[in-house]
Amino acid sequence: MRLLLDCRMASWTGVGRYTRGLEHALSSRDDIQLVRVIAPDAPASLGGAQSVTATRHPFSPAGALELGSIVRRVAPDLTHCLHFPTPMPARSPLVVTLHDLSPLVVAGLMPSALKRHVYRVWNRRAVRRADHIIADSASTARDLARFFPHAAGKTSVVLLAADDFAAGSLGELPEWLQGQRYILSMGNTRPHKDLPTLLRAFASLADDRLQLVLAGNDVPGYAASIIGAAAERVRFTGPVDDPVLRRLYRDAEVFAFPSLYEGFGLPPLEAMSFGVPVITTSAASLPEVVGDAALLFPPRDADALTAALARLLSDDALRQRLSEAGRRQAAIMSWERTAAETIAVYERVLGEVRA
pTM above the 0.85 mark? yes
Please choose, from the candidates 92, 40, 91, 49, the residue with its C-alpha nearest in 3D space to the C-alpha of residue 69: 91
Q: 14 pLDDT band (50/70/90 cuts)?
A: confident
Please choose, from the candidates 197, 21, 168, the residue with its C-alpha nearest in 3D space to the C-alpha of residue 99: 21
Q: 340 pLDDT band (50/70/90 cuts)?
A: very high
pLDDT reported for residue 207: 85
CB contact set of 176 (below 8 Å; sequence gap of 6+): 235
* pLDDT tens per residue across span 119-144: 999 999 999 999 999 999 999 999 99
Helix (H) or strand (E) run with residue 133 in it = strand 132-135
Q: How far apart are the first and last CA of the chain?
A: 17
pLDDT reported for residue 13: 86
* pLDDT tens per residue across span 25-37: 999 999 999 999 9
* pLDDT tens per residue across span 100-113: 999 999 988 999 99
Given a cut of 80, whether residue 46 has pLDDT beyond it is no
Asked whether 240 and 254 are in contact (CB, 8 A), the reply is: no
Residue 343 vs residues 61, 74, 160, 218, 348: alpha-carbon distances, Å: 29, 19, 14, 41, 9
Distance CA 14, CA 170 (A): 20
Given a cut of 70, whether residue 47 has pLDDT beyond it is no
DSSP-derived secondary structure letter, 134: E
Distance CA 169, CA 53 (A): 29
The 3-class secondary structure across 178-208, one letter per residue, is CCCEEEEEECCCCHHHCHHHHHHHHHHCCCC
Q: What is the mean pLDDT of the chain?
A: 95
Given a cut of 90, whether residue 43 has pLDDT beyond it is no
Q: Which alpha helices (H) appear in the chain, and where do they start and end?
A: 15-27, 61-74, 102-105, 113-129, 138-147, 163-166, 195-204, 222-227, 242-251, 266-273, 286-290, 302-314, 316-332, 335-354
Asked whether 213 and 237 are in contact (CB, 8 A), the reply is: yes
Asked whether 171 and 250 are in contact (CB, 8 A), the reply is: no
pLDDT reported for residue 45: 66
